[in-house]
Amino acid sequence: MGIHLARLQRNDDDLNKIDPFTFFGLFNKRLKKENRIRIIAELMNQLHVNAPVPSEFDGVPLVNSFTAAFYPFAPDQTPNQIEDLWSLFLSALDLADNQDTAITEDFVKAFNRVKAGNPQATTVKLTMGLFWVRPLRFLSLDQNNRANIVEKRALNEQVRQTVQLFLKTDTDGQHYLQVCDEALKALRENDLAFQTFPEFSEYSWELAKSSIKDYDPQFSNEEWDALIADPKIFTPEALEIMNDWQQFDNAAATCTQVAARFGRKKNYYLTQTVSLAQRIADVKKGMTLLSGQKDAKWWPIVFTGSKADAETPGSIVWQLRPGLKGALERAADGGQRYWWLNANPKIWTFSLEKIGTTQSYTIRSESGHLRRIPQNFRDAKPGDKFIGYETSPTKQIVALGTIVAPPEPDTVGFRSDELLVNRIDYADIKADPDLANMEFFKNPNGSLFKLTKDEYETILDLVRDANPDGPKKEIMESYSRAKFLEDVFIEPTKYDSLVALLDDKLNVILQGAPGVGKTYSAKRLAWSILSKKDDSHITMVEFHQNYAYEDFVIGYRPQEDGGFKLTEGKFVKACRQAQSDPDEKYFFIIDEINRGNLSKIFGELLMAIEKDYRGQPIPLAYGDKSLVVPKNLYIIGMMNTADRSLAIIDYALRRRFSFVDMEPAFETQSFGDYLHRMNNPVLDRIVAVVKQLNVAISKDEALGAGFEIGHSYFCNGENAQPGWLKRVVDFDLKPTLDEYWFDNQSTAEEWKKKLSDAVAEDSNNA
C-alpha cells in the first residue's frame, strides 16, 4: 500500500481541489475495505496517477475513528491550525522530492508550529500522516513500529535511542527528521528482509499479529488446575467470563460478539480479563510477557488470538487456551455443577426475562424459612449450567442457562442463555429411563436440584432434538427499500407509510382485489425491514374455513399411538422464536386472513396481539398455559376484497389492525418503467383495455374499486410472450368477468371481446 502511495506525484492545481483531510480519512480504522478502494481510485483519478489501485492494506497504520481528526472541531479550533497543517504537509511533499536546506527549515518550522498550537495533532498521528503522503521518506511511529524499534530492536541501537529521545521530548521537527534519516540509513546498510519504510511497516504489523497468535505463557495442566482452584485468582467474575466464552464454538469469539450475546459492555470483559491475567502473572514470577499495551499485553495469557475476518464483528478472535479450557472442564466434572432450576409461573417465569438478564434466587423463602435442600444453593458456583423448568400448570423445560456470581450472600445468581422455541414436556422427561433417578423426581417440591453430568447431557439431547442448532446461518442476500420499490409497484410514500404503520401498530392487513400482489408484497416488506432475504424470520400460514384455534394457538392433536397430545400451533412457536431473539425482528404472515373464523381462531389472543399488551402473559384456553406475544413479532395479514363468500371482519379484530389498500399499479411510474422494458405492443394493448375495464368495475354499484383487476396478472410471464398473454386473458380474466357479472352476461361478453381483440393480432404466435 505504501509503495502505491509513494507514486502519488504532487500537482498543485489538482491537489487544491481535494478536501485536505479526505485523504487522511481513508485511514480511519472503521472504513470498510471496499470503500477505501473506491475513494483511493477516485483520488488517483483526480491526481492523474496511472499506478494500479491498491487492493490490500495490511501493515498500513490506521487511526481510531474517535480520534481521527488532525485538528480540533469548532468552537475549539483556531484560525491558524488548518493553515499550519497545510503548510506542514505541503513542505513534506517538497522535502521528499528535494533535499534543500531551505525546504528542510520550512518543514521543521511547520512541524514545530503544528505541535505547539494544535493539541489534536499528536506526534504519533503526525508521523502516520506524513508516512501516508510520502511513505518512502517519512517513518510512521505507530504502535507496531515503535514496539519493533524500541522493544524488539529491529533496526539498531542508535535508531532505538533516537526514537526514544524524540518520543520523550515530543516537540522538535528536526529530531523527527533525524529519526527518519537514521532509520533509512539502518535499512540501507544492514542485510534485512525490509529495505523501505512501507516494507518495515508491514513487517511490524505481521510481527505484532503473529506475536499474539504464537505467544505461549507455558503453563502445564497441573498449573492451570491449581490456578482454577484458587478463588483469589479465578474469582466468580472471572469464572463467569470464562463460561461466557465457552458458549461459543471452540470457545472462540471476539469481545464484541461476547458482549452482544450476554448484554454487557465490552469494557467489562476488557477490565476483568486484564485483572485476571495480572493475577496469574503475579503467581508465576518471571514469566515472559508480550510487549504492547492494554489487552494486547495481558489477554494472550488467557487466550490465543487471531485476526477476525471481514464478516466478524470485532478485530481479534480470542480463543480460550487449551490448557485453561481443559482445567475449567476438569473443575466442572469434579463436583455437582449441573442444576435443575424450578420457576413457579404463577409467581415468575423465565419467559418474561430478556436473554442475558441476571436474576437471583434466595436460600430462604419470603417467610424466612430455608428452602428445601439449602445445601444446593451453597454448592452452586458461577459457571455451572442449569435446566430452566416451569412448574404446574406449564410443566415444561423452557430455558437453558448459567449460574452467575450471587448478588448477595445466601442467594444464587442465574442467567437465561436460551429460551426454547419448542419446549420439553414433563411427560417426555419422565418417560426417559436415563433420568429415572433425578433428584427432582424424588421430591419435586423445591427450587434447585442437582443433576449429574450424564443427566444434564441426556436432557440437553432432548432439547436439541426439538430445537436443533443446525448449521451456521448462511450469508443472506441483502434487500432494501430501493429493491422493494423495484419489485413491488407502489409509490415510495406509500411504502414509507406502510412501514410506519407496521412499526406503530405491529399488526397490518393488506387488502385489495385479486392480482394486486398482496402476498408477494408482504414477504418483500418483511425482507426490506430485515434488510436481507431471511425466511428464517418469517412464518407464513393460510386461513381457511376449517382452520381453528387448535391449529393456530394450541390444542389436542391425535398421535400415532391413538392418543392425543396437547400441541402448540404455529403462532405460539413463532412467538417463542421471536421471544428467544429479542434484538431481531420477526414476522407472522397470514394469507387469506378473512377466509377463517377470526374470532374463533384468535380466541383470547385478540387482546394479546395489541401493542399495549405485548410482552404480558396471556392465559391460553388449554392446559392452564400462558403465552407472551413479544413486541418484536409483526403480524401481516392479506385480505381479498373481491370474495363474496367471506364475512366482514368484526370490529374487535379490525381495531387491532391497520388496513392498507393495495390497488392496481397500472398508473405508477414503476409499472410504466416495467412496460417500457418489456417493449411488447400486445401487453400494452391488454393493459390499456384492463385500465378501461377497471374504470367500469369501479363505477358498477354491485362491484366497486375492490373488484378491480390487479397488475400482477401481467408480471409473471417470461418477456410477456403473446401465447402466455392469451392464456392469461382466456383462463384468468374472462372467468373472473363471468363471476363479476354473472347476472349481466352482456356486459361480461362486451369486455371479454375487447380483451380478445387486444391479443387477436398475435394469437397465431401462441
- Which residues, in sequence order, are CB contacts of 98 under 8 Å at separation 6+? none
**What residues pair up with 360 in beta bridges, in sequence order?**
413
Segment (H or E) for 633: strand 633-640
Report the chain (766 residues): mean pLDDT per 10 consecutive residues: 34 42 50 67 73 66 59 79 89 86 91 89 88 89 82 82 84 89 87 80 73 75 84 89 89 90 86 90 76 67 83 85 82 70 83 76 80 80 88 87 82 87 88 90 88 87 80 68 88 92 93 85 93 90 90 84 81 87 90 85 87 87 80 92 58 81 83 81 85 85 82 71 79 84 84 83 48
The torsion of the CA quartet 254, 260, 266, 270, rounded to 10 degrees, works out to -50
Rounded distance, CA 373 to CA 389, Å?
A: 17
Name the grid cell of 165.
Answer: 529521545
The confidence score (pLDDT) of residue 643 equals 64
The confidence score (pLDDT) of residue 191 equals 67
The confidence score (pLDDT) of residue 668 equals 81
The torsion of the CA quartet 316, 319, 321, 327, rounded to 10 degrees, works out to 150
φ and ψ of 457, to 5 deg? -70, -30
Strand ranges inside 233-384, DSSP E:
252-253, 303-307, 316-320, 338-343, 358-362
Segment (H or E) for 260: helix 255-262
DSSP output for 340-374: EEEE-TTT--GGGS-TT-EEEEESB-TTSPBPSSH
Cα–Cα nearest to 144, from 128, 121, 165, 123: 128
Measured in whole angstroms, the distance separating CA 61 from the mean position of its chain's CA atoms is: 28
Instruction: Classify strands 385-390 and 338-343 as parallel, antiparallel or unpaired.
Output: parallel
- Residue listed under C-alpha cell 452467575: 404
The 3-state secondary structure of 381-408, one letter per residue: CCCCEEEEEECCCCCEEEEEEEEECCCC
The torsion of the CA quartet 301, 307, 312, 315, rounded to 10 degrees, works out to 70
Name the grid cell of 328.
Answer: 475449567
Rounded distance, CA 662 to CA 670, Å?
A: 15
Instruction: Classify strands 538-542 and 411-425 as parallel, antiparallel or unpaired.
Output: unpaired
Rounded distance, CA 731 to CA 597, Å?
A: 30
Rounded distance, CA 144 to CA 683, Å?
A: 66
pLDDT per position as a tens digit, 362-384: 888 777 778 888 878 877 888 88
- Which residues, in sequence order, are CB contacts of 658 under 8 Å at separation 6+? 501, 502, 504, 505, 507, 508, 509
Whether 444 and 417 have beta carbons less than 8 Å apart is answered as: no
Helix (H/G/I), strand (E/B), else coil: 568: strand
Rounded distance, CA 604 to CA 34, Å?
A: 52
Instruction: Give the angle subtended at the CA of 368 by the CAs of 364 and 369, to the nearest 5°.
Output: 65
The helix-helix angle for 322-333 and 236-246 (nearest 10°) equals 110
Name the grid cell of 167.
Answer: 518520543
* Cα 711 to Cα 195, 267, 505, 547, 667, distances in angstroms: 68, 55, 28, 30, 10
Whether 91 and 102 have beta carbons less than 8 Å apart is answered as: no
Whether 383 and 391 have beta carbons less than 8 Å apart is answered as: no
Whether 479 and 530 have beta carbons less than 8 Å apart is answered as: yes
Whether 336 and 381 have beta carbons less than 8 Å apart is answered as: no
Measured in whole angstroms, the distance separating CA 753 from the mean position of its chain's CA atoms is: 55
Strand order in the sheet with 316-320: 252-253, 316-320, 303-307
Rounded distance, CA 663 to CA 372, Å?
A: 65
The 3-state secondary structure of 671-705, one letter per residue: HHHHHHHHCCHHHHHHHHHHHHHHHHHHHCCCCCH
**What residues pair up with 424 in beta bridges, in sequence order?**
397
Rounded distance, CA 406 to CA 354, Å?
A: 19
- Which residues, in sequence order, are CB contacts of 47 under 8 Å at separation 6+? 8, 9, 11, 14, 15
Whether 302 and 324 have beta carbons less than 8 Å apart is answered as: yes
Whether 588 and 535 have beta carbons less than 8 Å apart is answered as: no
Whether 142 and 61 have beta carbons less than 8 Å apart is answered as: yes
- Which residues, in sequence order, are CB contacts of 674 under 8 Å at separation 6+? 489, 715
Burial 190-202 (b: 16+ CB within 10 A, else e): eeeebebbbbbbb
Total residues found in the chain within this entry: 766
- Residue listed under C-alpha cell 397500472: 666
The confidence score (pLDDT) of residue 470 equals 43
Whether 178 and 239 have beta carbons less than 8 Å apart is answered as: no
Whether 137 and 96 have beta carbons less than 8 Å apart is answered as: yes
Whether 296 and 307 have beta carbons less than 8 Å apart is answered as: no
Helix (H/G/I), strand (E/B), else coil: 262: helix
- Which residues, in sequence order, are CB contacts of 471 under 8 Å at separation 6+? none
Instruction: Kindly report the average pLDDT of the chain as a whole number.
Output: 81
The confidence score (pLDDT) of residue 58 equals 55
- Is residue 112 classed exposed, middle or buried when 0-12, 13-18 and 19+ CB atoms within 10 A define those classes? middle
Whether 106 and 94 have beta carbons less than 8 Å apart is answered as: yes
Whether 365 and 317 have beta carbons less than 8 Å apart is answered as: no
Helix (H/G/I), strand (E/B), else coil: 218: coil
Instruction: Give the angle subtended at the CA of 530 by the CAs of 528 and 532, to the nearest 5°.
Output: 75
Q: Percent helix, strand and coil across the chain, each rounded to 5?
A: 50, 15, 35
Name the grid cell of 550.
Answer: 387448535
Rounded distance, CA 598 to CA 543, Å?
A: 9
pLDDT per position as a tens digit, 184-236: 998 888 767 678 888 888 887 776 666 666 777 888 877 888 898 888 899 98
Name the grid cell of 408.
Answer: 448477595
Segment (H or E) for 751: helix 745-760
The torsion of the CA quartet 523, 525, 528, 529, rounded to 10 degrees, works out to -110
